[in-house]
A and B are shown apart, each in its own frame.
Chain A
Amino acid sequence: MQAAYIARRFGVFLLIVWLAGTLNFFLPRLSGQDPVRTKLLQQAALGGYVQGGIEEMTREYERRFGLDKPLWRQYLTYLEDIARLDFNYSIANYPRTVRELIADALPWTMGLLGTTTLLSFGIGTLLGALLAWPRAPRWMVWLMPPLWALHAIPFFLLGLILTYLLAFQLPLLPIFGGYSAGVTPTLSWSFTWDVFQHALLPALSIILVSTGGWALGMRGMMVTTMGEDYVLFAEAKGLKAPTVFLRYCVRNAILPQVTALALALGQILSGAVLVEVIFGYPGIGTLLYQAIRESDHFVIQGIVFTVIVALGFTTFVLDVIYPWLDPRISYRRA
């Protein structure tokens, strides 16, 4: 039963991968844009004179990039390539491959996003649970309105405001980038500290916004859970308040939060892309922004594909561990 459930979830994951690849392949080709020619013309214009051989060069590069073959052939080659995570060369930074560029940027994004998502999920869930708990300290009530208001703001907008306050007006934190200019990335304490300082503002703008969302969701679930008979029974039995709180209320109310987390990952990532752009943080978002400005289609496609696959995989993992969190649901078909 368990194997069948996991296999079905994995099938959905493969479907997502295939759809992402197919979308990536066909959509840009419907538009009739010509990245090779555009790039060559750009280069020619930068060189200050118009070259005669542009047409021949375009044809030659299209042959090399395999753009002259029939569409179905290109499609098959493409699927084969992306299965090996080979996204071709970057058009704008020619000698480098798209995979190298993404591999450089991905750790930054994963570090920022992983940390902020875990922190805001943890803090938000706990806060939400306490907000619904009648024995929580009174002052916590005052946290609600700011949490609500923050929750409605896009990440990057809060990022702008925080930058102005904490990096420009009071120059406490660096304003831009992932580490100080001119520093070579090494595994040393000073470099780690530098990276941490640079990550603080982007991280803060994500955490402050998403914590509110998790707190609101958790609070709603807690109110429902606390009305259940088994909670009343636990209190009547004379169990200690922390036990009732953690093992009876939180334990049950947290389940829909995990489902919500699986659904929210895509949105969080979309928001984080913009945060990176605003802060010039050297992750996937900034790479994407540069690729869009240079119409570097291979990089754009590579990023979109990688991110969709990575998120699909995370969702798959969450799906698989969910029945373990909630023993009431077995691995059977719902």
Chain B
Amino acid sequence: MRGVLAYFRRNPSLTVGIVLLALLTLFVIVGGLVVDTEDARPLSVPALRSPSAEYPFGTDRQGRDLLAVMVAGTPLTLRIGFIAGLLGVGLGTVLAFIGAYYRGFVDTIIRGVADIGLTVPGLLVLIIIAVSIKGTLTVNQMAIVVASLAWLYPTRTIRAQVLSLRERGYVEVARLSGMSGPQIIFFELMPNLLPYLAATLVNAVSAAILASIGLEVLGLGPIDAPTLGMTLYWVNFNAAMINGWWWWWTAPTVIILMVFLGLFFLTVGFDEIANPRLRRAA
């Protein structure tokens, strides 16, 4: 226990990241117990009240209780991020291992697609995909749309890692002692990559949340879900800034800030575990 605490002191980024995300989780859990999330629907409370004892975060123009919106919306936004991030890193890992371990023609294709795909502005491609889908999106569909590009970056970075790992002595020994390709991948390479995969996952989740919020602000999100991005869409739609309804955008902004800062510091912390050489730079 003391060792863990000492480690957290040595790795302040990880601590800050975990604390921020823990605060958010606490907010969602406690909020879910205290607040009636039905008030996140339009017309359930009086419109445009500034924060008060009854409505601590205020209410919006369509009569949503913003506290309820935040309690209901934060997990939705995080869910989009996690589904898309997991799908992206999962697919990326598989492709990276296939490419980097077996090399050859398949590798050229995988690498080419990832390299070209990364130079294209992802949000615009996602817009074309989202516009093409008939009807309004659900939260899960939204996650899948975002995941459709979320594998590019993980594929590229994990592939580079595998390429350097496969030249190590212990992989050579495993190969000489007759282990098959999949065995080497699962028992020799994977365990060594785990911290790196964790850092990549956090990154991917953060990127996916950013992409989903971007789509939502543009009006391509799940219109009837109270996600953080949709809240910002309504803020922009109703010109809340110019009208001086500051509480409307303050709550989602603060929560989104916490999400991104939390995830960012978590990646920095993980990076330090995955790549101890960074400690010299810090």
- A-B complex is real: yes
Chain A residues proximal to chain B, CB less than 8 Å: 12, 15-16, 19-20, 23-24, 27-28, 30-33, 148-149, 151-154, 156-157, 160-161, 163-164, 168, 175-176, 219-220, 223-224, 262-263, 265-267, 269-271, 273-274, 277-278, 288-289, 292-293, 295, 297, 300-301, 303-304, 307-308, 311-312, 315
> Assuming A152-B260, A273-B123, A304-B128, is B217 touching A266 (CB within 8 A)?
no
A220 to B125, CA, bound (A): 32
Which A residue sits closest to B261, measured CB to CB?
Answer: A152
Give the interface SS of chain A, mostly helix, strand, loop or mixed: helix
Q: Does B131 contact A (CB under 8 A)?
A: yes
Contact in complex: B133, A31 (CB < 8 Å) = yes
A288 CA / B209 CA spacing, docked (Å) = 21
A157–B253 contact, CB under 8 A? yes
Contacts of B263 in A (CB 8 A): 152
Contact between chains at B242 and A270 (CB < 8 Å): no
A211: min CB distance to chain B, Å: 16
**With the chains together, A260 CA to B9 CA distance in Å?**
32
- Tell me the complex Cα distance, A264–B129, Å: 22
**Number of A-B residue pairs at CB separation under 8 A:** 132
Asked if B256 lies at the interface with its beta carbon under 8 angstroms from chain A, I say: yes
Complex-state Cα separation, A27 to B120, whole angstroms: 16
Other-chain residue from B127, B211, B217, B281 in contact with A304 (beta carbon distance below 8 A): B127
User: Chain B 45-74 against A: per-residue CB contact (8 Å), 1 yes, 0 no?
Assistant: 000000000000000000000000000000
Partner of B132, one of A27, A160, A265, A274: A27
Given A19-B116, A300-B131, A311-B120, the answer on whether A153 and B257 have CB atoms closer than 8 Å is yes
**Cα(A95)–Cα(B127), bound, Å:** 25
Q: Which residue of B lies closest to A270 (CB)?
A: B123
B120-A308 in contact (CB<8A): yes
Report A247 CB to chain B, min CB distance, Å: 22
Cα distance A63–B261 when bound, in Å? Answer: 53
CB distance from B76 to the nearest CB of A (A): 18
Residues A16 and B119 in contact, CB atoms below 8 Å apart: yes
Not counting A168-B241, A263-B118, A292-B219, a sample of 5 additional A-B residue pairs whose C-beta atoms are within 8 angstroms of each other reads: A154-B256, A270-B121, A278-B217, A292-B220, A293-B219
